[in-house]
Structure 1
Amino acid sequence: MSKLSLRTGRYALLVHFMIWFLIVSQILRIVFFIWQYDQVSWNITDVLRTLLTGLFFDTGTIIFISLPGILFYTFMPDKWAGSIADRIVITFFTSLNIFILVFTFFAELTFWDEFKTRFNFIAVDYLIYTHEVVANIQQSYPLPALITGVLFFSLMVLYLFFRSGAFKQTFSSTSDIRLRLAVLGISLAAALFFTSFISNNHAEWSSNRYNSEISKSGIYSFFAAFRNNQMKYPDFYTSIDNDNAFGIVKNKLKDSTTTFTTTGYSIHRSIRDSQSALQRKNVVFVLMESFSGSFLKEFGNKENITPFLDSLAQKSIFFNDLYATGTRTVRGMEAVTLCIPPTPGQSIVKRPDNQNLYTVSNVFKSKSYDCNFFYGGDGYFDNMNSYFGGNGFTIYDRGRGSVLSDKIKTVRNNIPDKEVTFENAWGICDEDIFNKMITVADKQYKDGKPFFNFVMTTSNHRPFTYPSGKIDIPSGTSREGAVKYTDYALKQLFDKARTKPWYKNTVFIIIADHCASSAGKDEIDVANYHIPAFIVNMPEKHNQKIQKQCSQIDLWPTVFSLFNWHYESDFFGKDVLASDFEQRAFLGTYRKLALMKKEKVMILSDQKKQAFYDWNKTDNSLVKIPMDKSFLQETIAWYQSADYLFTNKLLK
C-alpha cells in the first residue's frame, strides 16, 4: 500500500532519526549554555536567537547526513521494500549513523571542555594525527567506559525507534513516486542552499563569543573548517593599497640601526648595532607548552606551582607584558622563528612551500652556529619536522628515519628508548628532552661549535602525566600538576647545565608558545594571550623587568641587540629595549587578527569586518569605541604586508 504520511510510512525511520538528532543537538546546546552560565548572554532575545540559529544549522547538518538515505529510499524499487536486503541495509546504516552521532556528541563535550568552542580547525588537525590523538584520549579519559556509554545510548535510541514502530512502518510501507521525488527534490534544494549561500560565519551573530559558538552545529563547523583552513587575506579582510601598507610598516620598522636594502614590497633590511663587539654565546631556547602568564606568582597566582620560574624572574631579563600571537603551538613556533604577525588561516608551519624561509636560524647560521630542534614526540605531528628540517635545523625527535625526505636533506635523529624514562601520548617527559639536549650540547662544545638548541616541551598537555615522585601533585590529576612538573624539569635543566663547561657562555631563553586557554566571551580574550618570557644568564647588569607591552615576534630582535649583532632581517619584530620602541602586540585566532596598543584593540575579521575596542584589564572585557581610521590602517598594513610576503614567496 502506498503511504503518503512521512511519519508513518516508508520514511518513518528516517524522520525519527532526523527529529532525534535535532532534539539531542538542542539539548547539547542547552548543556553548553548551563556550562558557561556566567559567560553567555541570558537576554531572552539572545537565548532565542542562539537556539533558533542552532536549529537552522542543525537542520542543514541533518539534511547532509540524511541524503544517502533519501537517495536509497528514492531509487529502491517498491517490490524490494521490506526484503532481507532492504532490512539489512537500513538497519545497519541507521545503527552506524546513530553510533557515530552519539560518539560525536560525546566528543563535542570533551572538545568544549578543552577549547570552549565547537569543532574547528583544531578538530580537523586532530583527525589527521590519529596516533597522538587516540593515545591522548586513551590516557585522558576512561575509554572503555566512554565506548560502553556510546554503545548504551546508541542501543537506547534504536530501542526507542523500535518501540515507536518506526522500523515496522519503514519495512512494511511503500511510497508514491511523486512523494519520493518531492522529498529528494526538497532535500537536494536545501543541501544546495546551504552549500551555496550559508557559511559557518553566519552563526557568529553575537558580540558574545559564547552565544555565537553555541549557535553553531559541531559537525557543520567541522566541515566548514576543513574547507577553509587557509584564507587569502585580500579575499576575506579589509585591504588597502600595497604601496600604502608597506609604507606604513617600513615607517614603523625604521630606526637608527636599520638600513633598508631593497625597494618595493619588501621589509628586508640590515641591522647594525652601535656596538662593535661580537658576542658568540651559545643559546638554549625553550618553548614551553601552554604556559599562561597567570600560572606565575609574579602575575598573582597563589598556588606556588612555578617556584623556579618565579625565582628566575628576579634574576633575568623578564618580560612583564608580552603576548603570544596565537592559540596553538605552531603559531608560537611561527612567531619565534619568523618574527611575523599571525597570517589568517593555518600557521605557516603547517602550510605548503614553507621551506627555505628567512628564519632566526639564518641569522645563527650566518655566524657559524649549529642549529638543532628537539621535540619529545614524533615531529611529523603538526608538520614540525618538515618546517624545521626545511629551515636549517637538525631534528631530534621520537620518530624514525634519518632523512626527512628527498626534498628536505636535514638529518633526523631518533631519541632511543634507552634515553627515555617516561612517555605519554605527546612524547617523552620534559626532563628527558632536556637531558637529550644537554648530551648534544656536550658534543657541540667538544667539537668547538657554538650552538642554537631549540627545545619544545610537551608535559604541560592533557593527559597531564609525568614521572611520579617528582613533585607534590600526583601525575595525571590536573593542569596545575603538569605546570609544576615543567617548572621542576626546568630547574633540573639549569642544575645540570651549571656543571657543564659551556654553561658560563650560554644564554637560556624561555617563553611560552601560547596560553593554556584562549577562550572567552569576547572576539579576542586578551588576558589569555599574556605569557611569560625570560632571557637568563646574560651579564648581571642586563637583568631587569621589562614593563613595555610587546609581542613574541620581538623576542629575537631584542636578543640579537643584546648580543650586539649585525645581521640581515626580514623580521617584523623590533628590539624592545630600544628607547624608541613603540609598544604594541599582535594577537590572532585563525580568523581574527588584532593589533593592541596599551588598552586599545583593533580586530580584523573575515567578511571584511573590523571593530575597535577599549580593553579593561581589570575584568578582561572589551568595550566598543568609535573607529580610529589611522589605527585601522596601521592594523591592516601589518597583517596585509605579512600575508603578502609569504604568499608571494618573498620570505625565502
Structure 2
Amino acid sequence: MNSPFLNRRKAAPFLFFLKHYLFWVLVFFVQRLVFVLYYCDSFSKAGSTRLVQSFAYGLRLDLSMAGYFAVIPLLLFIVQQFTKAAFFRKTVRIYTWVLLMVTVLISGGDLGIYENWGVKLNYRAVSMLAHPAEAMETSKSAPLSLLFMIMLAEIIIAGFLYRLVLSRMNMPTGKSTGNERISYAAQLITIAGLIFLSIRGGWQQIPINESTAYFSSFPVANHAAVNTAWHLSSSFLKNRFSGQKNMYTYLPEREATERVNDLYGTGGGDSTLLVLTQQRPNIVFIQLESFTADVIAELGGDTGVAPNISKLVKEGILFTDIYASGVRTDQGIIAMLSGFPAQPQTNLVNQPEKIEHLPFLSLALKNENYHNAFYYGGELGFGRFNTIAYRAGFDRIVGLKDFSDAGLFNKWGADDKSLFDKYIKEMQHPAEPFFSYIITSSSHEPFTVPMPTVFEGSSRNEQFKNACYFTDRSLGAFFEAAKQTGWYKNTLFVLAADHGHHLPRDRRFNEPARYHIPLLLFGEVLKADYRGKKIGGTGSQTDIAPTLLKQLQVKDTAFKWGNDLLNPGRKAFAFYTFDDGFGWLSAKDTLIFDNRAKRLMYPSEGVAGLQSDSILTTGKAYLQLLYDAFLKY
C-alpha cells in the first residue's frame, strides 16, 4: 500500500500526464472526425471500414504529437519542485489553451485547402501567408463562414474535454515532503522515458513517420489518419533543411545519371519537324490559369467551355498529351520559362537566390535580339513573379499597378479582358522581333468574372466553367484585335496552362488527368501543311522551351530537363510531382509513387510487375537528380 501509484497525491504527476495525453488524443479524435464528416462524400467511396481504420492508424501519430506537447509541462513541473511559487497549474492552463487555438486553426486551414490541393496543410500552403492578399483571395473559394463555425465548435468541445479531463487536477507545489519528492523524481524519470517513446513512436530502429498512418489505396483515408499538426510541423522541418541534403537519394549517382540521360536521347540523328515559315517570328506566349484539359473539347473535355480555343485548334498545332509539372502557378511558370521541373514538398521560387541560376527562354531569345515583355494583371509579388520577370530579362514588366484605369477588376487584379486590351493598346507599333509572356488569372478561384452566367448552377463546377469561358471569350476578342495589327502575320502564338485543376470533374490530387493540360501553337507563321494537326506523344511543360528554341534553330544546351516535342525520335514521357510523390507517364505506362508511404499508389502492388519496377527505378533516379540540381542552384 506504500506504492506511490496507489496514493493520489503521490501519483499526481503520473496521473496528470496520463490525462494530458488523453486530452490531446481526444482533441485529435474530434478533429479527425470533423475531417471525415466534412469530406464524407470522399469517404463514401473509400468505405466505412477504411473510415474506422483511419482512426486506428492515426493513433500513433496522435500520441507522438501529444508527446511533443507534453515536453513543456514536464519541464515546468520539474522547475516547480524547486520553488514555492505555485505557477504550474496556471501556466499549463495558458499553454494548453494557446496550443489548442493553434491546432484548431491548423485543423480549419486543413479543411480549407484540402479540396483544392488534395494534400494536408503544409509548408507550401502556410508560406502563402507571406502574400496575405493573395492568400485571402485563394481562401475565398472555401466556405469561410462554415469553417469558422466548425473551428468554434471544436473549441467549445475541446473546452468541455479540458474541464472533464484536466481542470480538476490538483498538482502539488514545491511544499511537498521529502518522500513525495522522491516519488515525484521516480515518476518524472518514468514520464520522461514514456514521452520520448511516444514522440519516437516506439523502440523500432527508425523513428515514427507519416508512412505509419498510410494503410489504404484511397488517399483520403490516409490523409484522415495523418495528424495535421504533426504533418505541418514535419513539413516545416523538412523545408527548413531542404537546401542542405537530398531527401530522395535512391541510387548510386552514376546509375541515376545514366538512366536520366537516356531519357533525353533521340536514338541518333535529328529528325525535328520544322513547322515555321520564318526563323525569327515574334512569339506571344499565353499562360492560361488552371486551364485543365477537362475544359478543352478536343482533349476529351467538356464541350462549349472554350469555343474560341476550339477555333484556334482548327488552324494550329495541338499537342494532345501534355502534362503540367506541378500543381501551382509558380511551378508552372518555372517549368515553361526555365524548363525546370517542379519539386515535391518545396518550391524553388521560395528561394530567390536559386532563381538566379536558372536558364530562361526569354534570356535565350534576348541573346537573339528579341524585345521581351511580361504582362500580368495581378500583384507581381505573388509567386515571386517580379523576381522571375526581372531575372528572366524582360524589358517591360506590367503588373497590377499599371492597371489603375483598367475599369474592370477581378479578385486577383485586372480581369483577362482588361489584360488583353492593355496589351493590344501598348503593342500597336512594337520593335520586332519580340517575345511577350502573358499570364491570365480570371479562371482562378473564386471564379468571379464580369459577364452574364453561361453555365447555370451554383456548384463550383459551373462557377469554374464560367470563369474559363470568360477567359476563352477574352482570348477570342484578343485574337480579333491582334489581326488588325501589323505584327500579327509575323507572330507565333503559344497557349499553355500553368497547371490543371480538380474541377470540373473532381479529379484526385495525384491522378494524371488532373495534370493534363493544353498546348497549342497558332499563327500565320505555321506552314500550311501543319495547320489543324494534332500531335500525340506524352510530353511535359518542361519540353516547351527546348521545342521553341529548336524551331528557331537556336542552340542552347542549358535546358537539360526538356525534349523537343517536334522530334519524332524523342523519348515520350512526363514527370509530375505532388505533395511528397511523383507521377510518371508514357504511351504504355502510368505510375504514381507516394514517397511518404514508400509505395506505389498506382498500379497497386498486387498488379505491379517487372516493368513497373523498372519505371519506378527510373522515376526515382529522375527525382534524385532533380533534387540534386535544386540543391546546387
For Structure 1 versus Structure 2, the TM-score category normalised by the shorter chain is 0.7 to 0.9
In 1, Cα distance between equivalents of 2:459 and 2:509: 32
- 1:228 and 2:238 aligned: yes
**Residue 329 (structure 2) aligns with:** 329
Closer, same or farther: CA 244–40 of 1 in aligned 2, 3 Å: closer
**Aligned match of 2:410:** 423
> Is 2:444 aligned against 1:461?
yes
Indicate the SS of the match to 1:534: strand
Match of 2:63 among 59, 65, 70: 59
- Structure 1 residues 390 and 301: alpha-carbon distance in aligned structure 2, compared to 1, 3 A threshold: closer
Alignment of structure 1 residues 5-44 onto 2, 5 Å: 14=20, 17-28=23-34, 30-31=36-37, 34-40=40-46, 44=49
Instruction: Say whether 1:108 aligns with 2:110.
Output: yes
Change (3 A) 1:547 1:19: closer
Indicate the residue corresponding to 1:268 in structure 2: none
- Contact 1:467–1:475 (Cα < 8 Å) also in 2: no
Q: Tell me, what secondary structure is at the counterpart of 1:321?
A: strand
Tell me which residue corresponds to 2:192: 185
Q: 1:297-328 CA deviation, whole Å, 9 max, x = no partner?
A: 22344462222222222221111121112222
Equivalent runs, 1:149-228 vs 2, <5 Å: 150-151=151-152, 153-155=154-156, 157-159=158-160, 161-162=162-163, 164=164, 166-170=166-170, 177=181, 178-179=183-184, 181-182=188-189, 185-186=192-193, 188-190=195-197, 193=200, 197-228=207-238
Give the 3-state SS of the residue equivalent to 2:67 in structure 1: helix
How far is the alpha carbon of 1:398 from its aligned partner? 4.2
Structure 1 Cα separation of the partners of residues 223 and 64 of structure 2: 16
Cα distance change on mapping 1:274 and 1:110 into 2, 3 Å: closer
Distance 1:583 1:153, change over 3 A: closer
TM-score, structure 2 as length reference:
0.82
Task: Name structure 2 gaps, 5 residues minimum.
Answer: 1-6
Q: Which residue of 2 aligns with 1:541?
A: 529
Query: Mapping of 1:347-366 within 5 angstroms?
Result: 347-351=347-351, 352-366=353-367
- TM superposition shift of 1:336: 0.9
The one-character-per-residue Cα deviations of 1:381-432 (angstroms, maximum 9, x if unpaired) are 2333223322323463546xxxxxxxxxxxxxx42422352131x3332222
After TM superposition, list the pairs within 5 Å mapping 1:107-506 onto structure 2. 107-137=109-139, 139-141=140-142, 143=144, 146-147=147-148, 150-151=151-152, 153-155=154-156, 157-159=158-160, 161-162=162-163, 164=164, 166-170=166-170, 177=181, 178-179=183-184, 181-182=188-189, 185-186=192-193, 188-190=195-197, 193=200, 197-229=207-239, 230=242, 235-242=247-254, 245-246=257-258, 249=261, 252-254=264-266, 278-302=278-302, 304-351=304-351, 352-394=353-395, 396-398=397-399, 414-424=401-411, 426-442=412-428, 445-446=429-430, 448-469=431-452, 471=454, 478-506=463-491
Q: Counterpart of 1:511?
A: 496
Does the 8 Å CA contact 2:124/2:345 hold for their aligned counterparts?
Answer: no
Q: Which residue of 2 aligns with 1:625?
A: 609
Change (3 A) 1:468 1:55: same
> What's the CA shift for 1:48?
5.4
The 8 Å contact of residues 245 and 640 in structure 1, kept in 2 or not, is answered as: no
Match of 2:549 in 1: 560
The alpha-carbon distance between structure 1 residues 296 and 141, as it changes in their structure 2 partners (threshold 3 A), is same
Using the TM superposition, give the Cα deviation of residue 509 of structure 1 relative to its aligned residue in structure 2, in angstroms: 0.9
Q: Is the 8 Å Cα contact of residues 249 and 638 (structure 1) preserved in structure 2?
A: no
Alpha-carbon RMSD across the aligned residues, in angstroms, is 4.1
Q: Which amino acid aligns with 2:366?
A: K
Instruction: Assess if the C-alpha contact under 8 Å between 2:80 and 2:173 holds in 1.
Output: no
- In 1: Cα distance, 2:614 partner to 2:28 partner: 47
Deviation at 1:350, TM superposition (A): 3.2
Contact 2:282 2:435 (C-alpha < 8 Å) held by counterparts:
yes
Maintained 8 Å contact 1:209/1:520: no
Report the Cα offset of residue 280 of structure 1.
Answer: 2.0
Give the C-alpha shift of residue 531 in structure 1: 1.0
Cα deviation, residue 191, structure 1: 6.3
3-state SS in 1 of match to 2:320: strand
Percent of paired sites with the same residue: 21
Q: Which amino acid aligns with 1:429?
A: D
Q: Distance in 2 between matches of 1:622 and 1:546?
A: 34
Structure 1 residue 8 displacement after superposition: 12
Partner of 1:50: 54
Separation of aligned partners in 1, 2:151 and 2:253:
54
Instruction: Quote the offset at 1:216 in angstroms.
Output: 0.6
CA distance in 2, matches of 1:135, 1:365: 35
Task: Give, as a single letter, the amino acid of the residue that structure 1 aligns with 2:530.
Answer: H
Q: CA deviation at 1:3?
A: 2.7
Do the aligned partners of 2:316 and 2:520 also contact (CA within 8 Å) in 1? yes
- How far is 1:185 from its partner? 1.4
Deviation at 1:377, TM superposition (A): 2.5
What is the identity, as a one-letter code, of the residue corresponding to 1:125?
S
Q: Any idea what the Cα deviations from partners look like across 1:41-64, whole Å, max 9, x if unmatched?
A: 65x4x5555322211112222332
Question: For 1:89-126, what per-residue CA distance to the aligned partner results, in whole angstroms no more than 9, with x for missing partners?
Answer: 45544444333333333322222222233223432323
8 A Cα contact 2:121 2:232, kept in partner: yes
Summarize deviations over 1:494-539 as a string: whole Å, max 9, x none. 2322222222222221111111129999994122221111111143
Corresponding residue for residue 4 of structure 2:
none
The structure-2 alpha-carbon separation of the partners of 1:501 and 1:194, relative to structure 1 and needing over 3 Å to count, comes to farther
Note the residue ranges of structure 1 that are not aligned, 5 or more in a row. 259-270, 400-413, 616-620
Within 1, Cα distance between the matches of 2:382 and 2:493? 26
Aligned residue for 1:100, secondary structure, equals: helix
CA distance in 2, matches of 1:385, 1:358: 16
User: Retained in 1: the 8 A contact 2:335–2:542?
Assistant: yes
**CA separation of 1:14/1:427 partners in 2, compared to 1, >3 Å: closer, same or farther?**
farther
Is the Cα–Cα contact under 8 Å of residues 325 and 552 in structure 1 kept in the other structure? yes
Relative distance call for 1:416 and 1:299 in structure 2 (3 A) is: closer
2:538/2:585 contact within 8 Å kept: no
**Cα distance in structure 2, aligned partners of 1:18 and 1:247:** 47
Instruction: Tell me the SS of whatever aligns to 1:568.
Output: coil
CA distance in 1, matches of 2:215, 2:25: 25
In structure 2, distance between residues paired with 1:248 and 1:398: 38
Q: 1:151-193 CA deviation, whole Å, 9 max, x = no partner?
A: 455245435644x485344589998554472575146424652
1:631 deviates by: 4.3
Give the whole-Å Cα distance in 2 for the aligned partners of 1:110 and 1:607: 22
Aligned partners of 1:140, 1:66: CA distance in 2, in Å? 36
1:550 maps to a residue whose letter is G
For the structure 1 residues 6 and 453, does the alpha-carbon distance in structure 2 shift closer, same or farther, using more than 3 Å as the test? farther
SS at match of 2:610: coil
- What's the CA shift for 1:452? 1.2
Tell me: CA distance 1:40–1:324, structure 2 relative to 1, closer, same or farther (3 Å).
same
1:16-72: CA deviations, max 9, x gaps?
642431331342354367331354265x4x555532221111222233234334433
Deviates more, 1:195-204 or 1:450-459: 195-204
2:577 corresponds to 1:588: yes
Name which of structure 1's ranges 109-118 and 240-249 shifts more when overlaid on structure 2: 240-249
**Could you tell me how far 1:553 is from its partner in structure 2?**
2.1
Q: 1:589 to 1:233 in 2, by over 3 A?
A: farther
- Once residues 143 and 602 of structure 2 are traced to their aligned partners in structure 1, the CA distance between those partners, rounded to angstroms, is 43
Distance 1:306 1:367, change over 3 A: same
- TM-score, length basis structure 1: 0.80
Distance 1:274 1:144 in 2: 55
